[in-house]
Structures are given as C-alpha cells and as structure tokens.
Amino acid sequence: MSCILRLSQSLRARGYRVTPQRLAILEALHHEGHLSPAQVYERVRQTGMTEATVYRTLEFLRANNILFAAQREGGHLTYELAGASHHHLICRTCGAQVDLEAEALQRLIACLEQQSGYRLDASHLTLFGLCPNCQACNEIRDPEPRDTRDQVS
C-alpha cells in the first residue's frame, strides 16, 4: 500500500502519470512472485485493460527500475516488484528454483566492472543448470558415460 504510493510519487516526479492500469498491475504483482505477462493479464483483465497495455506497462515499469525482469528457460520474460537484489538458479530438467543473496555475486560483479569499465546492472540474474536431484537421476540413467575418444567410424 504505502509501497505503491511511494512508487506513484516517484513516477509523477519523473513526469510520468499514475494510471489505474499501472496501479492495477502493481497491485497484481504485490506479494506475488514472478509473473509472466499472461499471468498478469489474468489478474487484471476484469479492469478491461488490454493485453497490449500489459506488455507496454510491464516494460515501462521495468525500464524505470520499479520491476525486475527475469528470463525463464526459452527466453520468456517474467516480472516481479523490484526489491532486494537477488539472483536465481533454475534447474533445466525439473525447474527447481533457488534464490541467491545478491552479495554472493557482488564481489565478482565489481571485479568485472573494474576490468571492463562497464557499469553493470546485474541486480537480478538467472543462471541455468542441473539441481542436485537431477544430477543424481542422470547418473543413474547414464551409468557409465562411455569413453568414445578413440572410436573409429
């Protein structure tokens, strides 16, 4: 509540307008985790808002650092209210998600910034891989990753 009010003021201060559409979307994302544009639309369609507006608004709010965007596998976008910086590890096989404190990467990011001269906005990264469970499954399924080095065709 107070949170959304503060965001409204911040928007107006930058010359943007606070519309019922933007408020509805912020409300929908309030306390929910990551939502896809379609999921956001579900939660606000009652207001009569268009899908196009959902896409535009999400991108607008992200560009203004009010939302974090994250890429699910395959590149589909997902949004959440921007808050404490954090990152995600997602299992490519079962989809399990783990959150990472930002500081886990902080040092590295700083290091990269110094090396490259870039100022990175890496406050919300997503890395893909295999969770411990799925690693175990794979080992069982592929008992001995056969040696194919010197195989002659």
- Interface positions with DNA (CB under 7 A): 8, 11-12, 15-22, 36-38, 47-53, 55-57, 59-60, 74-77
Among 25, 49, 58, 91, binds a second copy (CB under 8 A): 91
Tell whether residue 81 is a contact of a second copy (CB under 8 A).
no
Among 4, 69, 96, 100, binds Zn ion (CB under 5 A): 96
DSSP string, 5-58: HHHHHHHHHTT----HHHHHHHHHHTT---B-HHHHHHHHGGGT--HHHHHHHH
What backbone torsions phi and psi does residue 57 show, to the nearest 5 degrees?
A: -70, -45
Residues counted in the chain: 153
* Residue 33 binding target from a second copy, Zn ion, DNA, none, CB below 5 to 8 Å by type: none
Cα 129 from Cα 91, distance rounded (Å)? 5
Per CB under 8 A, contacts with a second copy among 54-73 are 59, 69, 71
Contact between residue 18 and residue 12 where contact means Cβ atoms under 8 Å apart = yes
For the bound state, the minimum distance from the C-beta of residue 121 to a second copy, rounded and expressed in Å, comes to: 5
52 contact, one of a second copy, DNA, Zn ion, none, CB 5-8 Å limit per kind = DNA
